[in-house]
Structure 1
């Protein structure tokens, strides 16, 4: 009888391990935020520029700002709406420099889980990206776009409840301070 591994080896798919997997699949992130975050980092969301390669579509212009073609880079980094939302979130987060390129985004994701503070910032970041995508879909499919202030408030609430809903066994003084900051949101 052959060992299980030798029988299954031809059917296994090999893939390169990505360094940001731990950041994306962190327990502080809401599951649907994790999925969209993963899709964003791997450029797998069907933005209009990618859809236009497969299907004929009327316009590749991003409907939220109507100022540039919809791509991952524009949607999550360059768009005036996204930048304004980053500014709103930064008003209450105040300890994070938003990435300006996809390379910076991936570099941030490789170091984001080394402390509770970075995990909370990562949860805010993932929620922000998720709500940018959700707002984009609402604008396209329901003809309703949210304001940046309402999205910022929603991000703050969701991350606060997620962080406070998880139990932490032993916390350092710094981590207790971080949790008290989150409680104050």
Structure 2
């Protein structure tokens, strides 16, 4: 079974929803909180992600977004990396600081870091529609 590591009889339930056992698939893709973060990001970035397991999605992403010269491929890879990272950070914030953030706060933070990254990517041309989605002049 794919479980996160716990010691000393700690509760193995997900720190985001507190309902289900915490696995990679659950934490990043099927947890109620994570699903809402993904919905927020997909709506904000006009993107869609397949419903795959953690390992299958990583494999799918690496195949689909191989060509890093394409702005759309770079955006897709960045969305996956940033969203997983921020979900992990939210999990750790709840464990180690006993603090939590709303889905919209986390989603907006993800969007802003992606936007900043795209604005700093010199040399990649971006279609007007893509610029509009990311509010890039």
CA distance in 2, matches of 1:70, 1:99: 18
CA distance in 2, matches of 1:113, 1:177: 23
CA distance in 2, matches of 1:50, 1:161: 31
CA distance in 1, matches of 2:24, 2:43: 25
| Secondary structure in 2 matching 1:65 | coil
Structure 1 outlier segments of 4+, above 6 Å: none
Query: Alpha-carbon deviation of 1:148?
Result: 0.7
Query: Alpha-carbon deviation of 1:129?
Result: 0.6
Seen in structure 2, the aligned counterparts of structure 1 residues 121 and 149 have a Cα distance that, compared at 3 Å, is same
Tell me whether 1:68 sits opposite 2:25 in the alignment: no
- State which drifts further: 135-144 or 97-106: 97-106
CA distance in 2, matches of 1:62, 1:82: 11
Aligned pair count reads: 132
- The correspondence for 1:144, drawn from 99, 109, 133, is 99
Runs of at least 5 residues in structure 2 that lack an aligned partner in the other structure:
none
The CA RMSD over aligned residues, in Å, is: 2.1
The structure whose Rg is larger is: 1
Runs of at least 5 residues in structure 1 that lack an aligned partner in the other structure:
1-46
Tell me whether 1:130 sits opposite 2:85 in the alignment: yes
Question: So what's the TM-score if we normalise by structure 1?
Answer: 0.64
Residue 99 of structure 1 contacts residue 105 of structure 1 at CA under 8 Å; is this kept in 2? Answer: no
CA distance in 2, matches of 1:65, 1:97: 21
CA distance in 1, matches of 2:132, 2:92: 32
User: Residue 184 of structure 1 corresponds to which residue in structure 2?
Assistant: 135
